[in-house]
Structure 1
Amino acid sequence: MIRSIIALVFTFSSAAAVATEAPQAWSLGGLWRAHDGNDLHFPGWRGSDKNWRQLRVPANWYSAGWDHQGALWYRTEFSVPTLPAGRLATLEFDGVDYYADVWFNGHQRLRHEGYFQRFAVDVTRDMRRYNKLAVRVDSPFEDPKTNWPLRKNLMKGVLNQHDSRPGGAWSPQGQDANSGGVWAPVRLRLSRDVAIDNLILRPDWSQGLAHPQLRAEIVYRAPAGKTAELVLAARPDNFSGKNFQLRQSVTLQATGNASQRVSLLLPMPEARLWWPIGYGKPHLYQVSATLRDAAGVLDRRSSRTGLRQVVEQPDNRGWLVNGQRVFIRGTNYIGSPWLSTMTKQRYHRDFDLVKKMNANAIRVHGHVAGRPLYQAADEQGIMIWQDVPLQWGYNDSKEFADNAVRQTQEMMEQFGNAPSVVVWGGQNEPPFDSPWMEKRFPDWHKELNRNLMQRVADTLAKDDTRIVHPFSAVEEHYWAGWYFGTLDKLLEPAKTATITEFGAQALPKFSTFKTIIPRRDWWPATTQPGDPKWTSWKYHNFQPIQTFKNAGLSRGNSIPDFIANTQQYQAQLVAIAAESYRRQRFQPVTALFQFMFVETWPSINWGIVDYLRHPKAGYFALQRAYQPLLPSIDPVTTQWKQGQAGKVNLWVINDLPTSHSGSQLVWQIRQGRNVLAEGKKAVEIEPDSGIKVVELQVMPTGTLPLTIHSKIIGSGGKKLAENRLTLQTITEKE
Structure 2
Amino acid sequence: MKEIQLLNGIWKCKSDPEELGALNNYFGADFNDDDWYDIKVPGHWQDEVEELKDYSGTVWYRTKFKVPNDFLKDENERVRLLFKGIFYKSEYYLNGEFLGTHEGYFDTHGYEVGDMLVKGDDKANVLAVKVICENEPDMNNKKQIIGTFGHWDASDPNFNAGGIWNDVLLYKSGNAYIERLKLITKLKNENMATEKISIFLDSAIDAELKGKISFTPHNFQGNSYSQDLVIKVEKGKNKHTFELPMKNPALWWTWDLGKPNLYDVKLELIMNNQITDELKTRTGIKEFKNNRKQYGLIKGEKWNIEFNKKRFFPKGTNIPPWQHLATGNKEKFSKRLQMLIDANMNIIRVHAHIDRDELHQACDELGILIWQDLPLQWFYAKSKFDQAKLDAKRAVQKIQHHPSQAIWCAHNEPIKFPNAKEILKMVFFILLSSWFTNLIRANLLGPLMSSWTGIGLKIVKEIIFIIIWLVIYNTFGILLDLEIPSLIAYNSNRSNLDPQLHDIMREEEENQNMVIPYSGICKGGVWPMFSTYAYTDIHAYPGWYASYFKGYRGLKKFLKPSLRNHARFVTEYGSQALPSKGVMFRILEPAERWPLNWKKLAKKHRCQPMFCKWWFPPKMAKNLEEYIELSQDYQAEQVHMQTEIFRRLKHNPMEGLITFLGYDCFPAVDWSFIDIDLKPKKAYYTVQKAFEPLYAFLDKWPKKKYKPGDIFESDVFLTNDYLEDKEAVSVQWKLSRENKNIIRTGDFKTKIKADMVKKIGKIEFKIPEENLYEDGEHHEIYLSISTLNPSGKRKVINNTYRIDINKYKWPH
1:723 equivalent to 2:769? Answer no
Distance 1:497 1:105, change over 3 A: same
The residue number in structure 1 matching 2:473 is: none
SS in 1 for 2:797: strand
Distance 1:472 1:59, change over 3 A: same
Q: Distance in 1 between matches of 2:420 and 2:639?
A: 24
SS in 2 for 1:722: strand
1:193 equivalent to 2:175? Answer yes
Q: Give the gaps of 5 or more residues in structure 1.
A: 1-21, 168-175, 526-531
Please tell me the residue identity of whatever aligns with 2:664.
E
The residue number in structure 2 matching 1:361 is: 347
The residue number in structure 2 matching 1:528 is: none
SS in 2 for 1:670: strand
Instruction: Report if the CA contact (8 A) 2:201-2:238 is conserved.
Output: yes
The residue number in structure 1 matching 2:580 is: 509
1:576 equivalent to 2:630? Answer no
Q: Distance in 1 between matches of 2:131 and 2:794?
A: 58
Deviates more, 1:367-376 or 1:577-586: 577-586
1:621 equivalent to 2:686? Answer yes
Please tell me the residue identity of whatever aligns with 1:468.
V
Q: 1:94 aligns with which of 79, 84, 87?
A: 84
Instruction: Report if the CA contact (8 A) 1:235-1:287 is conserved.
Output: yes
Please tell me the residue identity of whatever aligns with 2:390.
R
SS in 2 for 1:80: coil
Cα offset, 1:348, TM superposition: 0.4
1:38 equivalent to 2:83? Answer no
Instruction: Report if the CA contact (8 A) 2:730-2:787 is conserved.
Output: yes
Cα offset, 1:64, TM superposition: 2.9
Distance 1:717 1:595, change over 3 A: closer
Deviates more, 1:388-397 or 1:76-85: 76-85
Distance 1:268 1:533, change over 3 A: closer
Distance 1:436 1:572, change over 3 A: farther
Cα offset, 1:261, TM superposition: 2.3
Q: 1:107 aligns with which of 94, 97, 117?
A: 97
Distance 1:471 1:435, change over 3 A: farther
Q: Summarize deviations over 1:472-497 as a string: whole Å, max 9, x none.
A: 02450110001111121233324311
Aligned pairs (5 A) from 1:553-702: 554-643=619-708, 644-672=710-738, 675-701=742-768, 702=773
Q: Distance in 1 between matches of 2:807 and 2:216?
A: 69
**What's the C-alpha RMSD, in Å, of the aligned pairs?**
2.5
Cα offset, 1:199, TM superposition: 1.6
Aligned pairs (5 A) from 1:386-425: 386-397=372-383, 400-425=384-409
Q: Distance in 2 between matches of 1:665 and 1:376?
A: 36
Distance 1:647 1:201, change over 3 A: same
Deviates more, 1:287-296 or 1:596-605: 287-296
Aligned length: 689
The residue number in structure 1 matching 2:609 is: 544
Q: Distance in 2 between matches of 1:30 and 1:79?
A: 13
The residue number in structure 2 matching 1:139 is: 133
Instruction: Report if the CA contact (8 A) 2:721-2:754 is conserved.
Output: yes
Q: Distance in 1 between matches of 2:619 and 2:111?
A: 58
Q: Distance in 2 between matches of 1:655 and 1:304?
A: 29
Aligned pairs (5 A) from 1:3-14: none
Distance 1:291 1:39, change over 3 A: farther
Cα offset, 1:88, TM superposition: 0.6
Q: Summarize deviations over 1:564-583 as a string: whole Å, max 9, x none.
A: 00001111111111122112
Instruction: Report if the CA contact (8 A) 1:318-1:327 is conserved.
Output: no
Q: 2:283 aligns with which of 305, 311, 314?
A: 305
Q: Distance in 1 between matches of 2:109 and 2:424?
A: 38
1:520 equivalent to 2:591? Answer yes
Instruction: Report if the CA contact (8 A) 1:711-1:719 is conserved.
Output: no
Cα offset, 1:346, TM superposition: 0.2
Q: Give the gaps of 5 or more residues in structure 2.
A: 294-301, 427-481, 523-537
Distance 1:441 1:641, change over 3 A: farther
Instruction: Report if the CA contact (8 A) 2:418-2:483 is conserved.
Output: no
Deviates more, 1:314-323 or 1:280-289: 314-323
Deviates more, 1:25-34 or 1:275-284: 25-34
Q: Distance in 2 between matches of 1:96 and 1:477?
A: 32
Instruction: Report if the CA contact (8 A) 1:428-1:473 is conserved.
Output: yes
Please tell me the residue identity of whatever aligns with 1:337.
Q
The residue number in structure 2 matching 1:18 is: none
- TM-score, normalised to structure 1's length? 0.89
1:74 equivalent to 2:61? Answer yes
Cα offset, 1:584, TM superposition: 1.1
SS in 2 for 1:508: coil
Instruction: Report if the CA contact (8 A) 2:779-2:806 is conserved.
Output: no
Cα offset, 1:250, TM superposition: 1.2
Please tell me the residue identity of whatever aligns with 1:608.
F
Instruction: Report if the CA contact (8 A) 2:779-2:807 is conserved.
Output: no
Please tell me the residue identity of whatever aligns with 2:286.
R
Instruction: Report if the CA contact (8 A) 2:181-2:198 is conserved.
Output: yes
Please tell me the residue identity of whatever aligns with 1:522.
R
Deviates more, 1:227-236 or 1:344-353: 227-236
Deviates more, 1:283-292 or 1:506-515: 283-292
Q: Distance in 1 between matches of 2:20 and 2:34?
A: 19
Q: Summarize deviations over 1:158-212 as a string: whole Å, max 9, x none.
A: 1111001334xxxxxxxx311111111222110111221212222123x544321
SS in 2 for 1:62: helix
Q: Distance in 1 between matches of 2:357 and 2:178?
A: 19
Select the structure that is richer in helix.
2
Q: Which has the larger radius of gyration?
A: 2
Q: Distance in 1 between matches of 2:177 and 2:222?
A: 31
- TM-score, normalised to structure 2's length? 0.81
Q: Distance in 1 between matches of 2:82 and 2:381?
A: 30
Q: Distance in 2 between matches of 1:716 and 1:99?
A: 52
Cα offset, 1:340, TM superposition: 2.0
Please tell me the residue identity of whatever aligns with 1:408.
A
Q: Summarize deviations over 1:486-515 as a string: whole Å, max 9, x none.
A: 121233324311001000001011111111
The residue number in structure 2 matching 1:483 is: 545
Cα offset, 1:550, TM superposition: 4.6
Please tell me the residue identity of whatever aligns with 2:519.
S
Q: Distance in 2 between matches of 1:653 and 1:361?
A: 18
Q: Percent identity?
A: 25
Instruction: Report if the CA contact (8 A) 1:523-1:533 is conserved.
Output: no
The residue number in structure 2 matching 1:219 is: 200
Cα offset, 1:320, TM superposition: 1.1
Cα offset, 1:539, TM superposition: 2.4
Cα offset, 1:538, TM superposition: 3.8
The residue number in structure 1 matching 2:333 is: 347
